[in-house]
Amino acid sequence: MSNLKINLGTSENRYDRLIRYLTDYIYTVRIENGKAVETHHGPGCFAVTGYTSENYASDPDLWHRMVHNEDKAVVLQRAEQAIQGIDLKPLEHRIIHQDGSIRWVRNSIVLYKDDKGKVISYDGLINDITELKIAEEKTEAKQRQLIQADKMATLGTMISGIAHEVNNPNNFILLNARFLQKVWEDIIPIVREYSQTHDDYSVAGFPANKSNEKIIQSLEGIINGALRIQKITKSLTNFARVDAGELDLPVDINNVISNAVLLTGNLVKNSTDNFSVKCNYEKELPLIKGNAQQLEQVMINLINNACQSLTNKNQKVLIIISIYGQPPVISIRIEDEGVGIEKENLKNIFDPFFTTKRSSGGTGLGLYVSYKIIKDHGGDLTVTSEKGMGTKCEIILPIT
C-alpha cells in the first residue's frame, strides 16, 4: 500500500513538472452557480504579463483589461463559454504587458466538471508565443517580398514583349513616313507649277499656298511621334531587362533622370502642369559608378510618389540636380506640393510593406527598395514632409 502512495505521489509531481514545462503559467477560475467567483494566477504570470499574482487578486478586472482591444471581445466570449461548459480550442491573442509592449499568448482552457457535468472550475494554460509570432511575421513578410519580386520579374518579361510588339509596327510607320516625306519633296515643284495655272487648286480643303506647309508639318509630326515611341520602347526594354546587379559601371545621372522622366511622362502630364527639371551646377555633371537601371527605378518611384500626392494640376513637381560638399557629392531633390506625410507615418516610410495607400494598390516596397538601392551605391536617401505642405526627397550620391 505504501508503494502505491509513493507511485501516486511521484506521478503527481511528474504531472506538475510537465505542466510547468509545457506552459509559462496557469490561472484557475472557480465557478459557483454559473458565475466566476474566484480567479487565481500562478506565479509565472509575472514573466509573461509583468503583473504579479497579488496584482490580479487585488484587481479582479485586470485580467481582461490587459487584453488587446481588438481581441477583447473574443476573449470575454470564450470565458463565458467556458463557464457554460463548452469545450474550446486554444486561442492565440494579444495582451498589453505591464511595460506597454504587446505580447502574444496561446490560451488553452481545460474544464473541470462534477458528476452531473456542471463546470466547477477551469484552468487556463498560458504560453508566451511572442517570439514565434515575430518569426512568423518575418517569414510572411519575406514570402510577400518574394511574391512581389516574382510579379515584378513577370511584369518585366511582359513589358519587354509588349515593347517588341509595339516596335515592329512603329518601325513600319517610321519607314513609310520618311519615304512619304521624300516623295513629297520630289512632288512639291510639280504642285507649285500646277497651282500657278489653277487658282482654285486645294489639298484636303487647304489652299495651295498653305497645303505644302501643312503636309510637311504633318509628316514631321508622324516621324517625331514614331521616334518618341521608339525611344520609349527602348527605355522600357532596358528598364525591364534582367539586372546583373553590378554597381561599378559608369553612370550619367542626366541620362538616368531623362529616362525616368520619359517613362513617367504620361503620369506627369495627367498630374501637373508645373513639372520642371533644374540643374544647379556650372561644369558638366561628372559620371558616377553604379547601376543605371537601379537608379532609374529609384527616380521612377520617387516621381510616381510625387505625382500621386498632388490634388490638382496647378501644384508643382520639381527636380533639382546639384553638386556640393567636400568631397563633392551629387544631390537630386524631388520636391512636390502634394498632400504631405503624417508625422507619425514619417518614421516608418522606409520599412518594408509599410504603406498608406494599401487600398489603392500600394505595396509598401517602393521606398524600402529605393532606400536600399541608394545605400548600396554608398549614398543616402532622406525624406522631409509635413501634412498639407508637400514632400522633399533628396538623393545623395558620391562622386568617385
pLDDT band at residue 4 using 50, 70 and 90 as cut-offs: very low
> Where exactly does CATH 3.30.565.10 map onto the chain?
246-400
CA angle 38, 43, 46 (to 5 degrees): 105
Q: Give the β-pairing of 119-128 and 102-113.
A: antiparallel
pLDDT in tens, 362-388: 555 678 888 888 998 999 999 999 888
Q: What are phi and psi of 385, to 5 degrees?
A: -160, 160
CA angle 369, 304, 252 (to 5 degrees): 70
pLDDT at 238: 67
Helix (H) or strand (E) holding 251: strand 249-251
- Residue 345 backbone class (left: φ over 0; alpha: ψ -120 to 50; beta: rest): alpha
pLDDT at 164: 73
Where helices occur in the chain by DSSP H, the ranges are 2-22, 45-49, 53-58, 62-65, 69-83, 130-197, 208-240, 253-263, 265-271, 292-308, 343-346, 366-376
Least Cα distance to 367 among 127, 359, 312, 375 occurs for 375
Cell numbers that stand for 174 in this block: 517610321
> For residue 254, which amino acid is it?
N
Q: What is the mean pLDDT of residues 12-37?
A: 73
Cell numbers that stand for 41 in this block: 494566477
* Structural class in CATH, domain 246-400: alpha beta
Q: How far is CA 24 from the centre of its chain?
A: 37
- Per DSSP, 35 falls in state E
pLDDT in tens, 101-145: 999 999 999 999 988 888 999 999 999 999 998 888 888 777 766
pLDDT in tens, 213-236: 888 888 888 988 888 888 777 776
Q: Please say if the pLDDT value at position 15 is more than 50.
A: no
Q: Please say if the pLDDT value at position 14 is more than 60.
A: no
Give 111-147 as a DSSP string: EEE-TTS-EEEEEEEEEE-HHHHHHHHHHHHHHHHHH
Q: What are phi and psi of 55, to 5 degrees?
A: -60, -45
> Where exactly does CATH 3.30.450.20 map onto the chain?
2-128
Is domain 2-128 classified as CATH 3.40.50.1370? no
Using DSSP's 3-state secondary structure scheme, residue 384 falls into strand
Which distant-in-sequence residues (6+ apart) come within 8 Å of 86 by Cβ?
none
pLDDT in tens, 304-343: 999 999 999 999 999 999 998 888 899 999 999 999 988 8
pLDDT in tens, 250-265: 999 999 999 889 888 8
